[in-house]
Chain A
């Protein structure tokens, strides 16, 4: 049975801050009420899958994260398919029930998946955590990198519906505990390189002593356990990768408890940067060096970027990361989700590779203290042109209750609607089966599953179901939701899906712009479909977009309004 969540956005403008402070679950508004309609359609989707990450109750840190999600169009039929990275158990950590691939068979009015794991030749039974998608070999078919506790896996998409593991042939030897990874063209040679985020050393046969948190005995880590170094792998263009340290592109990465990574041009200098989210340690922003003598090298800006900590120098947990241009300067703001008793954080770009913590300005601070956040994502849910937020939550300690830790183990997801630069929580209606329901959510990925132009969501609950959350929101007639994919079909370009590119919608003759980024990483241990989501004027003959490709080339595109678009580099009107 379809479980339905219909959330009425009341036409009341919350102009007075006193109202906002009193409104734990008050809604924002638009001039015309919009019904936010998010439905758990798992039961009818064909995805009947319970993830494995140790057992409940969780006793060791290895069991905490759960497995990631990748939404990517492996069969090139225009819709995102679903890969689920699945774990194992402590008594058999090397061999678990296996990761799964589901083909998207959705139609205009329904979301439907078919399990194709066997026919795709995916035999991945190790303790898998994260998933990244990218066409590393430039054959037009998107490949997968799966981060694991132990040997990671590079799964090459053979183009015939099957995958082949080529980890060893590709030279990607790394048996650390990898949580996340991301593809991006770091050396600007047209193909996709790979950044792998590593966490810590954990031996299931010699688990660490329990720790204490708020007077409670809890599972150990990360503090007290040896951190591990991340790896940057440079694509050689022949199917193999080399360690970037050996190539002199990056210095050995300081060991850290890495959880997340995003690759995109953070500082708008036309070159790809790497942002690494570390657990309870300073985040790292690797930026292309400016000086001629260091040309081609990646330098960690550390605290100089402002992204390493919150505004008070606090090193945060940084599970989820999401980017959006909230202030209209075409440089990304960064939103991160963090541990309970801490706050989530919004870093605003100030230009010149510098960000400042403006969490409170956007209303995202104190009220997030009870939550422990994971995957998060920006999207314009209500069609009012500004970006809203979805956050998945759940605590790591099974004994967590409000009474013991001021935070419950199972926590509901949140939808925060932006109104006048402030994010306000959307109220769940009585009977909601998704928004109001406490769960052990971890990973999640966004993509347009049913081709209607808006973003749907796939969530993975720790040792629980993978859920398909359909977005059936009806925008006002003057607004059109659209999903835009890129196809870089220029010669010598292997990054065919344009990871690292940005798309600007040109609003009017004054060239006002709305920007989105196509990037790898960010969603916790997961890969969003590599697409941009806009809500645009429906009553317009043509939409105009400018695409800045990862190599800095800018192309201009004009299209008719549609729910789904693909902008091809070869079909651009002009090239700058």
Chain B
């Protein structure tokens, strides 16, 4: 999940916010700065990152007692539930965050993903589009819009968004996973619409290179190579899938 949209100075391994490396002005409008987290909220955010979401919520609630209706606190409450994959619960907080400060970009972004995972595609689209108005250089929102277009089987529109997601994130440090995911989805379009297996395979190879845990990309690479490549390449992709899947999603978990 994208944490990079949150401005968090000094957060190791975290990508900088998008507006730190804006694209040329002719390509995107000027972004709206994201209010930085204060020292307390930064600590709570780290708890969320470390999976200590319950502890984070206790502290954020205390913080919110002192800073009622502060969009950053409301957002982090929502983010903590989002991290737990409890999207309906996250929804309420993220809605509050966007209402408290309609120009707070991260809240819109995660509101978009929350609606997405709840299957509410129209609301998800509106949230991501709103986010891009506030933070035009955020590739992950383009990625999400690409997925939503795929759901509607609007392949041309999805392609535009995936390409934009790749372009924006390639220029940012720490966004290899985002680029990988967008490439994998773009490859679906190339394979299905264009029937260009060679180009689709290239994209998938690059995708798993950038993010070796991307078992979905490994799986599709395996299936594609079965029709075009020699046995050793197929076997390598097959093993890549099973190994990545076992790393990412142990067999003890439900599919979701």
**Which residues does A use to contact B, with CB under 8 Å?**
17, 20-22, 24, 213-215, 223-224, 280, 303-304, 306, 309, 311-317, 338-342, 360-361, 363, 365-370, 402-406, 422
Please, which residues of chain A bring their CB within 8 A of the CB of B253? 223
30 contacts between A and B (CB under 8 A): A17-B153, A20-B152, A21-B125, A21-B152, A214-B85, A214-B86, A280-B254, A303-B222, A303-B223, A306-B223, A309-B219, A312-B216, A313-B215, A313-B245, A315-B255, A340-B256, A360-B153, A361-B153, A365-B151, A366-B119, A366-B121, A366-B151, A367-B121, A368-B119, A370-B118, A402-B88, A406-B85, A406-B88, A406-B117, A406-B118
Contact of A338 with B86 in the complex, beta carbons under 8 Å:
no
Closest to B217 in A: A312
C-alpha gap A338/B254 in the complex (Å): 11
Chain B residues near A340: list those with CB within 8 A: 256
Q: Are A369 and B88 in contact (CB under 8 A)?
A: no
Q: Give the distance to chain A from B150, nearest Cβ to Cβ, in Å.
A: 5
**Cα A403 to Cα B121 with chains together (Å):** 19
Contacts of A213 in B (CB 8 A): 254
> Judging by beta carbons under 8 Å apart, are A369 and B117 in contact?
yes
Q: Is B84 an interface residue (CB 8 A)?
A: yes
Q: Which residues of A contact B254 (CB under 8 A)?
A: 213, 223, 280, 317, 339, 341-342
Q: Are A312 and B86 touching (Cβ within 8 A)?
A: no
* B188: A residues at CB distance < 8 A: 311
Residues of A within 8 Å of B122, CB to CB, are 21-22
Chain A to chain B: the 3 pairs with minimum beta-carbon distance, closest first: A313-B219, A312-B216, A341-B256
Do the beta carbons of B255 and A338 come within 8 Å of each other? Answer: yes
Q: Which residue of A lies closest to B87 (CB)?
A: A406
Q: Which single residue of chain A is at the shortest CB-CB distance from B245?
A: A313
B151–A369 contact, CB under 8 A? no
Verify if B241 is at the interface (C-beta below 8 Å from A): yes
Of chain A, the residue at the smallest CB distance from B215 is: A313
Cβ–Cβ contact B220 & A311, under 8 A: yes
Residues of A within 8 A of B216 (CB): 312-314
For B139-172 the 0/1 string (1 means CB < 8 A from A) is: 0000000001011111000000000000000000
Which residues of chain B are near A214, meaning CB under 8 Å? 84-86
B205-256 residues with Cβ-Cβ distance < 8 A to A are: 215-216, 218-220, 222-223, 226, 241, 245, 251-256
CA distance in complex: A215, B83 (Å): 11
Task: Say yes or no: B117 contacts A223, CB within 8 Å.
Answer: no
Q: A313-B215, A366-B119, A368-B119 are in contact. List 20 more A-B contacts (CB 8 A).
A: A20-B152, A21-B122, A21-B125, A214-B84, A223-B252, A280-B254, A311-B188, A313-B219, A314-B216, A314-B255, A316-B255, A339-B255, A360-B151, A363-B153, A365-B151, A366-B121, A367-B121, A402-B88, A403-B86, A404-B89
The reply to whether the CB of B116 lies closer than 8 angstroms to some CB of chain A is yes
In the complex, chain A residues whose CB is within 8 Å of the CB of B154:
17
**Complexed CA–CA distance, A402 and B121 (Å):** 17
A224's partner among B119, B121, B125, B252 (CB-CB below 8 A) is B252
B219 A17 Cβ-Cβ under 8 A = no
Q: Tell me which residues across on chain B come within 8 A of A365, comparing CB atoms.
A: 151
Q: Is the CB of B255 within 8 A of A366?
A: no
CB of A337, distance to nearest CB on chain B (Å) = 13
Question: Is A369 within 8 A of B84, CB to CB?
Answer: no
Q: How far is the CB of B208 from chain A (nearest CB, A)?
A: 12
CB-CB under 8 A from A402, the residues of chain B are 88
Task: Report how far A311 CA is from B222 CA in the complex, Å.
Answer: 11
Interfacial chain B residues near A314, Cβ < 8 Å? 216, 255
Inter-chain contacts of B84 with A (CB < 8 A): 214-215
Contacting residues, chain A, for B88 (C-beta < 8 A): 402-403, 406
Known: A17-B154, A223-B251, A313-B215. A369 touches B241 (CB 8 A): no
A280 to B116, CA, bound (A): 23
On chain A, the residues within 8 Å of B148 by CB distance are 21, 366
| Chain B residues positioned under 8 Å from A24 (CB to CB) | 120
Identity of the chain B residue whose Cβ is nearest the Cβ of A316 in the assembled complex: B255
Chain B contacts of A223 at CB under 8 A? Answer: 251-254
Docked-complex contact A313 and B218, CB < 8 angstroms: yes
Kindly name the residue among A21, A22, A24, A215 whose own CB sees the greatest number of chain B CB atoms within 10 A.
A21
Q: How far is the CA of A339 from the CA of B188 in the complex (A)?
A: 24
Chain B proximity of A280: nearest CB distance (Å): 6
Are A342 and B256 in contact (CB-based, < 8 A)? yes
Asked if residues B116 and A317 are in contact (CB atoms below 8 Å), the reply is: no
Q: A residues within 8 A CB of B255?
A: 280, 314-317, 338-339, 342
Chain B hits for A315, CB < 8 A? 255
User: Which B residues are CB-close (under 8 A) to A363?
Assistant: 151-153
- As a 0/1 sequence over residues 59 to 71 of chain B, the CB contacts with chain A under 8 angstroms (1 = contact) are 0000000000000
Q: Let me know if B150 and A312 touch, CB within 8 A.
A: no
Residues of the B chain whose Cβ atoms lie less than 8 Å from the Cβ of A403: 86, 88-89
CB contact list, B86-137 vs A, under 8 A: 86-89, 116-122, 125
Complex: how many Å from CA A451 to CA B154?
42
**Given known contacts A311-B220, A360-B153, A367 and B119 CB-to-CB distance under 8 angstroms:** yes
Q: B188-218 interface mask toward A, CB cutoff 8 Å, 1 = contact, 0 = none?
A: 1000000000000000000000000001101
A361's nearest neighbour on chain B, judged by CB, is B153
A398 and B136 alpha carbons, distance in the complex (Å): 43
Q: A215 and B153: CB pair below 8 A?
A: no
Q: Report whether A360 and B150 are in contact in the complex, using a CB–CB cutoff of 8 Å.
A: yes
In the assembled complex, the Cα of A22 lies from the Cα of B121 at a distance in Å of 8
Bound-state CA distance A339–B251 (Å) is: 15
Residues of A within 8 A of B215 (CB): 312-313
Which chain B residue has the least Cβ–Cβ distance from A364? B151
User: Which B residues touch A303, using CB under 8 A?
Assistant: 222-223
Determine how close the nearest CB of chain A comes to the CB of B161; give it in whole angstroms.
14
Contacts of B116 in A (CB 8 A): 366
Is there an interface contact between B118 and A339, defined as CB atoms closer than 8 Å? no
Contact present for B86 and A215 (CB under 8 Å): yes
How far does the alpha carbon of A404 sit from the alpha carbon of B245 in the complex, in Å? 26
Query: Within residues 70 to 90 of chain B, which ones have a CB less than 8 A from any CB in chain A?
Result: 84-89
- Which residues of A are found within 8 Å of B117, using beta-carbon distances? 341, 369, 406
- C-alpha spacing A20/B149, complex, angstroms: 12
Given contacts A223-B253, A402-B88, contact A313 B241 (CB under 8 A): yes
In the complex, the chain B residue whose C-beta lies closest to that of A280 is B255
Residues of B within 8 A of A360 (CB): 150-151, 153
Q: Which residues of A contact B119 (CB under 8 A)?
A: 366-370
**Separation of A311 and B89 alpha carbons in the complex (Å):** 29
Q: How far is the CB of B52 from chain A (nearest CB, A)?
A: 13
Query: Residue among B84, B122, B251, B256 with the most chain A CB within 10 A?
Result: B256
Complex CA–CA separation, A280 to B245 (angstroms): 13
- Chain A residues positioned under 8 Å from B87 (CB to CB): 406
Q: How far is the CB of A521 from chain B (nearest CB, A)?
A: 22
